[in-house]
């Protein structure tokens, strides 16, 4: 374990707020027949007392992940974000654009070019710089990653930055949103300070429902904030994003939710029901691993990404299967690991409910019944 210092401001003052122990790499899915024991790494969340950035306390050598498919929910979020920025007059025709890293795909390029903006080479400054697909959170060095974005920004340019809010993680007890390879967990109060150090101010902020609360900000040099910024800051502060004691309450939900998931699987299996799950997402890994679910209780996890088929969930023997294999299995219960995907998955796989299967929230155990 590394000596903990802030990935942005380099302070060593802070608090551990969540400890998930040793975890397998959450974005590498080993072949199903791979007998090698999966390596594990410490997974701890630390809150910097100086700048307020929540971050992983430790580094990990994460293998390359297989290529996934972008969920429709994430594509809709990108479209909403682009439409919002366009309506705010931040995407003028002819403006130049640069985009930060997009480790999970989902580039904004097509949407922005359709509006008449022009993407520029990697070494060129731009009128608009976008980190819209949660790219910067993958950087071990947050200061250097922010510098790379700011250095590409024209003197009067605008930075569009989108993040899954730490406030949403706290409010909805999304402890499994903390995962290996995702090094930073932003709040608007912390981002305001980070950007101020780099000479930028946030002009506007918008909230979206993705993942329980996603925020997009627009930042400029010499910016004056509008009322949207104060509103979101106040909301996030009230949620406790800068309060280590508030964040430490995430720990309380770990044992409760993993025990509940295991009990749900045991009860269903004991009643002769066939239990499967949907979405081999990185956030499912810690949940399955800590719940100690193997292929005797969970028969398979379906995922739309062909690259994951024939693999297994990290740290378990649970196979990853295709959606067509899920339909053929005729499951009685399908646990949803990412509930944002439920509407699109139910539309794509109506056979599950037509044959008597139930979609259930893996986090709460609630049965999904309403068509959305």
Confidence (pLDDT) at 36: 73
Under the banding of pLDDT at 50, 70 and 90, the label for residue 1 is: low
Which pairs from 61-67 meet CB under 8 Å and 24+ separation? 62/25, 62/27, 62/28, 62/180, 62/181, 63/25, 63/28, 64/28, 65/27, 65/28, 65/29, 66/28, 66/29, 66/305, 66/307, 66/308, 66/311, 67/105, 67/305, 67/307
Sketch out the chain's domains with CATH numbers.
Answer: 72-247 (3.40.50.150), 258-368 (3.40.50.720)
For 137-184, the DSSP string reads GG-S-HHHHHHHHHHTEEEEEEEEEEEE-HHHHHHTT-GGG--TT--E
Q: Is the pLDDT of residue 293 over 70?
A: yes
Tell if the pTM clears 0.85, that is, is over it.
Answer: yes
* CA distance linking residue 104 with residue 113, whole number of Å: 20
105: region left, alpha or beta (phi > 0 left; psi from -120 to 50 alpha): left
SS3 304: coil
SS3 324: helix
Q: Which residue has the tokens 């918008």?
A: 206
Q: What is the pLDDT of residues 69-106, one digit of tens each?
A: 677 788 889 999 999 999 999 999 999 999 998 776 67
* CA distance linking residue 156 with residue 151, whole number of Å: 12
Q: What is the pLDDT of residues 167-218, one digit of tens each?
A: 999 999 999 999 998 999 999 999 999 999 999 999 999 999 999 999 999 9
């Amino acid at each position: 374990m590394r000596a903990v210092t802030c990935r942005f401001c380099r302070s060593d003052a802070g608090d551990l707020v969540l400890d998930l122990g040793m975890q397998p790499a959450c974005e590498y899915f080993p072949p199903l027949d791979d007998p090698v024991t999966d390596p594990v790494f410490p997974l701890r969340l630390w809150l910097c007392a100086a700048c307020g950035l929540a971050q992983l306390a430790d580094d990990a050598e994460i293998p390359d992940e297989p290529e996934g498919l972008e969920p429709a929910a994430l594509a809709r979020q990108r479209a909403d974000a682009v439409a919002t920025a366009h309506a705010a007059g931040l995407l003028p025709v002819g403006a130049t654009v640069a985009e930060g890293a997009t480790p999970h795909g989902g580039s904004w390029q097509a949407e922005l070019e359709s509006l008449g903006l022009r993407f520029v080479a990697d070494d060129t400054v731009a009128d608009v710089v976008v980190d819209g697909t949660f790219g910067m959170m993958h950087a071990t060095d947050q200061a250097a990653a922010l510098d790379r974005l700011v250095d590409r920004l024209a003197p009067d340019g605008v930075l569009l930055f989108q993040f899954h809010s730490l406030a949403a993680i706290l409010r909805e007890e999304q402890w499994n949103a903390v995962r290996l390879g995702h090094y930073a967990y932003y709040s608007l109060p912390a981002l305001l300070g980070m950007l101020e150090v780099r000479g930028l101010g946030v002009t506007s902020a918008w909230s979206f429902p993705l993942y329980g609360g996603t925020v997009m900000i627009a930042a400029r040099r010499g910016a004056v904030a509008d009322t949207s910024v104060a509103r979101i800051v106040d909301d996030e502060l009230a949620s406790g994003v800068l309060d280590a004691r508030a964040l430490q309450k995430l720990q309380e939900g770990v044992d409760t939710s993993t025990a509940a998931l295991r009990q749900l699987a045991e009860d269903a299996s004991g009643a002769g029901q066939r239990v499967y799950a949907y979405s081999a997402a990185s956030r499912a890994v810690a949940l399955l691993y800590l719940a100690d679910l193997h292929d005797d209780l969970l028969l398979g996890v379906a995922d739309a990404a062909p690259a994951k088929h024939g693999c297994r969930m990290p740290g378990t023997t649970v196979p990853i299967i295709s959606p067509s294999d899920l339909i053929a299995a005729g499951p009685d219960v399908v646990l949803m690991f990412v509930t944002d995907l439920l509407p699109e998955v139910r539309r794509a796989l109506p056979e599950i409910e037509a044959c008597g299967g139930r979609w259930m929230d893996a986090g709460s155990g609630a049965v999904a019944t309403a068509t959305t």
